[in-house]
Amino acid sequence: MSTHDRNRGDDTTIRPPVIAIDGPSGSGKGTIARKIAARLDWNFLDSGALYRLVAFSALHDAVRLDDVQTLAWVAAGLEIRFVLDATHADGVRVLLHGEDVSEDIRSEAVGEVASHVAAYPAVRDALIDLQRSFLKLPGLVADGRDMGTEVFAFAALKLFLTASVEERAQRRHKQLKDKGMSVSLAGLLEGMKARDERDQTRATSPLRPAEDALVIDCTEMSIEQVLERVLEEARARNLA
């Protein structure tokens, strides 16, 4: 199937091309996705940030985590903006209802709650249109868990980046340390294992590679090596 055909929807509308990058947390997919988007000058979607924003709002407004209806309502009402900012470690600032929550949503506590709320189909449904609204010319690099399997199943290139859980916990530990946060490595490792288990075994859109995804084990690879590999695949599909 050519890139041209893949970008056609069922309704024969031509869509901008998508590179879908999925994988567990700490696999480096966020960094790679941002770098690919910058290199190609494409739009970028950090879908995990949306689940984190739902979690943050729920915590902020003391919504019970078993109150699915209210959580879905929170998800449907998110008013967000991603503002590019080269001075920020993530390269982007996240505004929720006009307020900068970039740091707040990156905490382990918010990540933990995000993984819980992400298991509810009603919450996932409420975020579908918002995620698809990021699809604009000249193209989109989308980072998440179900970009290639659900949200952008027509993506021209699907990647599943993974690494051993020990390596991922180490990377996350270093990331947090660099940001001045002190977290125990053993605690991070346990938390990551539990989150992997939850993300992989939930009934709706579990974390798994799409059938036509290219799986890259990044355990022994540097960011530059992964980036080059991904660009190679993008070039092979005339996307870069």
Q: Which is nearer to ligand DC, 205 or 240 (CB)?
A: 205
What is the total count of residues that contact ligand DC (CB under 6 A)? 14
196 binds ligand DC (CB under 6 A): no
Among 17, 28, 111, 139, binds ligand DC (CB under 6 A): 111
Residue type, 106: R
Q: Is 72 among the residues that bind ligand DC (CB under 6 A)?
A: no
Out of 32, 74, 123, 146, point to the residue binding ligand DC (CB under 6 A).
Answer: 146
52 binds ligand DC (CB under 6 A): yes
Site for ligand DC in 12-51 (CB under 6 A): 25, 47-48, 51
By CB under 6 A, the residues from 217 to 236 that bind ligand DC are none
DSSP per-residue string spanning 98-152: TEE-TTGGGSHHHHHHHHHHTT-HHHHHHHHHHHHTT--TT-EEEEESSIIIIIT
Pairing of strands 140-144, 157-162: unpaired
Nearer to ligand DC, 11 or 109 (CB): 109
Stretch that binds ligand DC, among 12-20, 36-44, 109-117, 159-167 (CB under 6 A): 109-117
* Spatial separation of the C-alpha atoms in residues 239 and 6, rounded to whole Å: 12
Alpha-carbon distances of 3 from 12, 113, 149, rounded to whole Å: 14, 38, 17
Q: Which of 28, 14, 20, 76 is nearest to 44 (CA)?
A: 20
Q: Is 199 a residue that touches ligand DC (CB under 6 A)?
A: yes
Which amino acid makes up residue 52? Answer: R
Q: Of 13-21, 107-115, 132-140, 177-185, which part binds ligand DC (CB under 6 A)?
A: 107-115
Residue 68: how many CA atoms within 13 Å on its side-chain side? 8
List residues near ligand DC by CB under 6 A: 25, 47-48, 51-52, 111, 114-115, 118, 144-146, 195, 199
